[in-house]
Structure 1
Amino acid sequence: MKIIQLFNGEFSAENAPKAQLDNGSFCIPQHYLKYRHTLASVEELILKISYCDRYPIFVSEDNQGIYIQVGIIGADNYKGNHYESRSILHNNQRLSNGVSAVKDKNLKIMYGRKWRVEPKLPSAEIIQTAFLAIKKVREHEVRELFRLKAFNKTTTPLNCHHDVTMLINTQEIRSKDTEISWLELQQELDNLRYEKANFQVMNIENRHEKYWILELKVCLEPSSHLDEIEHDQLIVLIINKLTFNDVCYQLMAELIRLSDRHVDENFMFSRVARFSQENDIKAIAKISANTRELHKSAEKSDFEKDWRKENYQVDLARVPQLNTSVFSERIRNILNSFNGIEGILPDNT
């Protein structure tokens, strides 16, 4: 019997059920495994991931444990910032493809947030964490590349860095936009720029007097670094009101969706596009259906008891703690407003 080897950090309980794959080999489904991940085992998992060299995935460890962090190598979106260069590549160093590494003063590296990895986190969830981290780093970039000329300045109104105190104390923040014409919309869009792209209105249709369908053509410069859009690509938006405000928000949502789809199709684990929409959804459902109940047989009764006990201990370790603060009291009141919640309720300290 050929059994697929477990990753480092994965351990099989005695007598764990096995599922036979269509190639004849056997695999222990992940929900029957135990996990004790270390920095080294997480690094080995991340080494099997490929996406884009501009988004290196770091694995590090501090006093709080292991974490994943995605870097972004690209042009400085805010050119006024100055950082001391600590380039990894030296002047005469060569890249893996043999090409000399030439320092590009127009590039810099920044880092996204830290994504914590628990030692008992399943390997699949560690892979999904890296997948989500890349998506969120890209979304951060998408928002900063969305630029609007307004008030004699170039602004990034949908970025993630706005002062929340100022925003919540500004009386004029609610939109007062009124519906506009095709020509007026195009004039507004002429002040909008997404990296090296702008947008041209191709068609507007009012449907059932309830919503509008807006078709925009992407006009993209050849020097653009965007991978998810092309010159002359058509973007279709559905908007509730024909206002510049609504168009901007829906356009941003579509640009984020396109960024996410690029990650879906190009994020590889062991050279397989794990999250691609080209994967057959019924084939995935079949795998799930054939593996979820393997512990139900009579010969697996002892295994099932130990397995459920282990799962309970893992769940117990994830339960948050409550104290005597105003915040904790608010959480208690929310939980008490539901009648008969199952699961493990938060502990009191």
Structure 2
Amino acid sequence: MSNLALSAERPLPDAPRVLLNSGASCVPQHYLQYAQTQCSIEQVALDCAFNDTTLIFAGQDTHGLYIQIGLIGFDTYLPVAAQPNRKIVYGRKWRIDSNVPTSELVQTIFLAIKKAREHEVRELLKIRFEHHISAPFSTHQDARLIAEQAGSLLDNEEPVSLMQFRRQVTALMRNTTYDSSPVHVLNIEQRLSQQILVDISIPGGTSPMLGDTTGTLLTLLLPEPSVNALLFALMDALIAKSDSYVREAFTYLGVHRFSHRLSVEKLSALSVHTRLADKQAPGSFQHQLKQYNFVTDAARVPNVVTPEMAGTIQARLSEFGELAGHYPTFSVQP
């Protein structure tokens, strides 16, 4: 890590050092003060890596610091044959507070990559309806229109037998693709609990956008023999597969920070070991740490500036009685 990133971290005065089992020593992150800048979040972004088609941006604009993900690929709504060049698409900007710990910044980058890919995953499941192609799980669906038409959009499937369900699913999958690949049903069976197991194969397409689905086998668990339940379960499984891919490929400082190959028990032991210093530190430092955490939490308090929002929030808060922690501030009264 460069000095740029380290300059955003400064130990609290008299912060204790912890001797690790490896023989190294450290000042745990909960004893550090943070002052992130554009330079420091850029360095953290450079210390993170995923794959060649994913770009991690760190910047600053009039609204403050941010992280943003760019994906290089093809337009998911156009045939690849009609696109002479790939394009770059950008996810939303993830706002970063200046006092955010570096570990939380790494987690934000990790989450931003997952959500940028999920956006594409939702667009890549396509179904042909009445000679037209639709991406029903796309995040570009009109939320206001769906809310207005909700009564006519509810699922009203009648219960069907397992044999009827098999026929319905077979017909549906003939009109379904994912990331330019056909989707095949390999097996459908009913468990003693009446739940339905569906084995799905996605062999891979000729021009994939994400490129990590070739040879995919998925097993879906449905509460009932329902095509609607199948489609939702399929989308959930595809998102979970994408998230798993990010989890195992993402690195920070060359380490697969979120990989399931890390031992949960050893991570727990390391965390407990670094927290033991809390009880051993002088009382003056414990008081200082408590005050610093209080000020940090206070800096995150939202400010409510409209009567409508103030009325809603105050009404909700009144339902819980007296609360610990910091209440939001109100520039206006309802």
**TM-score normalised to the size of structure 1?**
0.87
Give the corresponding residue for 1:217: 201
1:186 Cα shift? 0.9
Task: Choose which of 145, 164, 172 in structure 1 pairs with 2:152.
Answer: 172
Deviation at 1:300, TM superposition (A): 2.0
Measured against aligned partners, the alpha-carbon deviations of 1:87-116 in whole angstroms (never above 9, x if no partner) come to xxxxxxxxxxxxxxxxx9330011100001
Is the 8 Å Cα contact of residues 179 and 205 (structure 2) preserved in structure 1? no
Q: State yes or no: 1:250 paired with 2:229.
A: no
Q: What displacement does 1:23 show?
A: 2.5
> Partners in 1 of 2:77 and 2:133 — Cα distance?
11
Question: Residues 156 and 225 of structure 1: is their aligned pair in 2 closer, same or farther, counting only changes over 3 Å?
Answer: closer
- Deviations 1:180-203 (CA, angstroms, capped at 9, x unpaired): 431221111111100122222222
Q: Secondary structure at the match of 2:256?
A: coil
Equivalent of 1:234, from 214, 217, 233? 217
Corresponding residue SS for 1:73: strand
How is 1:126-137 mapped onto 2 (pairs within 5 angstroms)? Answer: 126-137=105-116
CA–CA distance in structure 1, aligned partners of residues 217 and 273 of structure 2: 42
Give the deviation of 1:226 after TM superposition.
3.9
Structure 1 residue corresponding to 2:87, chosen from 101, 108, 117:
108
Q: What's the counterpart of residue 95 of structure 1?
A: none
Q: Are 1:121 and 2:105 matched, yes or no?
A: no
Separation of aligned partners in 2, 1:183 and 1:219: 21
Q: Give distance in 2, aligned partners of 1:225 and 1:345.
A: 45
Task: Give percent identity, aligned residues only.
Answer: 32
More helix by share: 2
What do residues 285-322 of structure 1 show as CA deviations (whole Å, max 9, x unaligned)? 0011111231222x521111111111111101111123
Q: Taking structure 2 as the reference length, what is the TM-score of the superposition?
A: 0.91
Kept in 2: contact 1:295–1:301 (CA 8 A):
no
Aligned residues: 321
Deviations 1:44-78 (A, max 9, x none): 11111110121101111111111011011100123
User: Is 1:213–1:237's contact at 8 Å kept on the other side of the alignment?
Assistant: yes
Cα distance, 1:223 vs structure 2: 4.7
Q: Secondary structure at the match of 1:168?
A: helix
Cα deviation digits, residues 101-148 of structure 1 (max 9, x gap):
xxx933001110000111100000011110000000000000011111
Q: Are residues 64 and 324 of structure 1, via their aligned partners in 2, closer, same or farther at CA, if it must alter by over 3 Å?
A: closer
Q: Mark the runs of 5 or more structure 2 residues left unpaired by the alignment.
A: none
Task: Judge conservation of contact 2:57–2:69 (CA < 8 Å) in 1.
Answer: yes
Matched, 1:195 2:179: yes
Does 2:129 align with 1:150? yes
Query: 1:222: how far off?
Result: 5.4
SS at match of 2:153: coil
> What is aligned with 2:258?
275
Shift of the alpha carbon at 1:248? 0.7
CA distance in 1, matches of 2:100, 2:267: 22
Compared CA separation, residues 22 and 230, structure 1 to 2 (3 A): farther
- 1:160-217: per-residue Cα shift (whole Å, max 9, x none)? 0011222122242111223343122111111110012222222222223442111112
Q: Distance in 2 between matches of 1:6 and 1:145?
A: 37
SS in 1 for 2:103: helix
Counterparts of 2:22 and 2:274, CA distance in 1: 16
Question: Would the aligned equivalents of 2:5 and 2:40 in 1 still touch at CA under 8 Å?
Answer: no
Q: Secondary structure of 1:229's partner?
A: coil
Long gaps (5+) in structure 1: 81-103
User: Structure 1 residues 75 and 243, CA, compared in 2 at 3 Å: closer, same or farther?
Assistant: same
Match of 1:336 among 318, 327, 332: 318
1:315 alignment counterpart: 297
Q: State the one-letter code of the partner of 1:216.
A: I
Alignment equivalent of 1:182, drawn from 142, 166, 180: 166
Query: Take 2:78 and 2:217, find their aligned partners in 1: how far apart are those partners?
Result: 31
Secondary structure at the residue paired with 1:125? helix
What amino acid is the match of 1:282?
E
SS in 2 for 1:340: coil
Give the Å deviation of 1:348. 2.1
